[in-house]
Structure 1
């Protein structure tokens, strides 16, 4: 697919993404004004454990589904591939859940959670697995509108159910939020499976008939068990460390900042939804066309840094929307913004490892920034609290980008003009350091203008293309 076609496709899901962003803001505003940081932090830890469990228990087969999906266009092949990939994660999750619940109920030992909480976590994890594979099918079929509405439905269900239950059960805030979270997760699973029912309910066939063996799928998938779980642990170290060195209140404030940044990260998930299947498909059909990936990297770099730096500048405005007890979150945003920035751009630059099936190398990619984040949290949280966790997380994601890009280029070289990218990154880091310890002032505005000027100069050719394309869309719709 040509770049203009990709941009056009990307634009079609803009409405859903904006709606999701608005609902994410609304949910955060409402919940943080009703629930204190301690309860919010406890909910964040629960969701974190669910993410950790899911990252291990889908066994890397979600990645195998993506990589082998386009081997054939036959529907029975795709159905059989989906059934194989989802079967074992589901069976193992149920088995592990029964074992843990049985042990905690018989021995009356509360390991992290009580028996009831373990049951809730098991149900939540099953919802995560179904929604993971359900939305992956929508991505692979480029049903971006339906994918967007899956996320929207989750937000709507979570908001409505949270407010309703909090109104009637004001003394059980954590339980109420956990129930709303679980139901919201299953709404995604239900909707995505309903849209892709022809694949979920399709007839099976023998995968070997398409030169794909189950052994090959498992061999490709198993390294992702390590890489995905390490990556999820990497994303969770900050909250685990804050919970260890501080308390649920600090975790709650930090989590509120994460939610605000994750609203920006919806741009990340929107791009990844479209990019991953398109990049694999493009490589399969035209493996020599490296210019395709270079231009995509430049476009997304401009978008992510422009949005990221703007959020850093106006961080106090976003936090005003939260409850009074959450105002410290403003100073956590600057470095947390590097998570969606660096992760999204690296989704383009990591292509070589995906195309060449170097899933084992992904282990190194995940472990190195994980170690960096762990050391950073241990060193900075005792001194700076939540700000230290945010700084460590930002540095770790920059390391993550470097590892992905350099290792990928060893197997599939693309000239990403890394010197330009490094100059832009360093200038952005300096701005983030200042914004972490200062409210918005004249110096903040000056640094913001400097970063944008550097970006516009370094990527002027890509910016011109994007402007021309934007004007073309406006003219086509008689808006210009």
Structure 2
């Protein structure tokens, strides 16, 4: 398959989409096998694992991608690995004698097996991450997608097989995740072994490491903030509520996180097209109408999920019924995250990416500051409320920021649309009956008509451009 070809690009996109579909199947399987409290502890294990990886990489994985085409393969690999390996040794060495305390802190038990799993997973995580980065940079889309899908399939298959013979708990499921990671890392290593075998200690170069650090360190806070935005509410629930509330909230976010696939798909074509149009000095109206069509389309998806949210219980067991009630609020997290990328595109075009860091930091402060109060009082509902509010504010900051540094794509339209979604979400959360469904359906029909009219307008303008 040719590098850069449409088929190759599609194969890169297919991996996350298919793995998300497998994840969709894994959710009901896991929630039917685990208690709400165990599901909460499993989620704490997974987000702690993600934090550890982000912490030890020091964003050197980003340096690997940035300098891949400018440095020799073996030299780049060894010099971007040095820091993560050193940090891993220090981390394992400093925690090995505190296993009981860390286990008590995270999982409320002195059984330190899960903490051992976390530490054991680090070397596999490093191998898997850098091997898959090599595959990605070599533009082997089909292989990259296959490895992602393989990892998810192993998890689902092992959970089903194990459940036939024993009663699963969160520790056993965490071990299954570890087995999947080991197999995925091993397979990734096999396909990239030609790169790994060329690593030599003599290639370690202080100046090279400093060059890579100079690039990665400014990105490091942003990387940690991404984790914070996605996970801080779960951490706060752990310390200011109960594991049961952690489980309810985690189940609800697992369902809404499926929508993140939509973000990957939209951004895969939105970014390249906008950059090309900007370079070609296309009329402002093309940018405006295109952005509006995407926002209307995502709003239709939002409305669709609201209308049929009660049916999402099939993804969970009856023990998680409370999680479904959080969906109208938590939907704002993935949708505002996606929409902020659309309306905030000018920040990237004008190379004002430091604004993204500032906006993320403000959002994280809101989550942490108000989260403690809301979660202490309302548990999972409080976590959902503050998360929804924080992402709405993040969306507004990016909308206003992009309008100032680049161009206004229709702020009044986007804010009006946001207010409509907030109204529909509130109505569905409070009523959840036939009246709310009819009203939401009517709004959906209006959105379809607006989307069709906007598409016709854009088509007319584009025809004029290509005459």
* Same fold flag (TM > 0.5): yes
- Quote the Cα distance in structure 2 between the aligned partners of 1:452 and 1:130: 49
Counterpart for residue 30 of structure 1: 29
* 1:18 to 1:52, Cα distance in 2 relative to 1, 3 A: closer
Task: Map residues 249-328 of structure 1 onto 2, 5 A cutoff.
Answer: 249-271=244-266, 274=268, 278=272, 286=279, 297-298=291-292, 300-328=294-322
- Quote the Cα distance in structure 1 between the aligned partners of 2:188 and 2:458: 35
- Indicate whether 1:236 and 2:231 are aligned: yes
* 1:141 to 1:400, Cα distance in 2 relative to 1, 3 A: farther
Counterpart for residue 150 of structure 1: 147
Secondary structure of the 1:102 match is coil
Contact 2:79/2:208 (8 A) holds in 1: no
Give 1:188 shift. 4.4
- Quote the Cα distance in structure 2 between the aligned partners of 1:207 and 1:354: 34
Counterpart for residue 474 of structure 1: none
- Quote the Cα distance in structure 1 between the aligned partners of 2:276 and 2:74: 23
TM-score scaled by length of structure 2: 0.80
Aligned residue pairs, count: 450
Counterpart for residue 170 of structure 2: 174
Contact 1:319/1:327 (8 A) holds in 2: yes
Give 1:289 shift. 6.8
- Indicate whether 1:165 and 2:162 are aligned: yes
Task: Map residues 367-386 of structure 1 onto 2, 5 A cutoff.
Answer: 367-386=361-380
| Among 342, 350, 375, the residue aligned to 2:336 | 342
Counterpart for residue 477 of structure 1: none
Counterpart for residue 44 of structure 1: 43
* 1:452 to 1:361, Cα distance in 2 relative to 1, 3 A: same
Bigger Rg, structure 1 or 2: 2
- Quote the Cα distance in structure 2 between the aligned partners of 1:135 and 1:435: 42
* 1:131 to 1:298, Cα distance in 2 relative to 1, 3 A: farther
Contact 1:101/1:118 (8 A) holds in 2: no
Give 1:279 shift. 7.7
TM-score scaled by length of structure 1: 0.78
* 1:352 to 1:111, Cα distance in 2 relative to 1, 3 A: same
- Indicate whether 1:247 and 2:239 are aligned: no
Contact 2:114/2:174 (8 A) holds in 1: no
Contact 1:350/1:405 (8 A) holds in 2: yes
* 1:290 to 1:154, Cα distance in 2 relative to 1, 3 A: farther
Q: Which structure 1 residue ranges, 5 or more long, are not aligned?
A: 467-480
* 1:140 to 1:13, Cα distance in 2 relative to 1, 3 A: closer
- Quote the Cα distance in structure 2 between the aligned partners of 1:109 and 1:460: 57
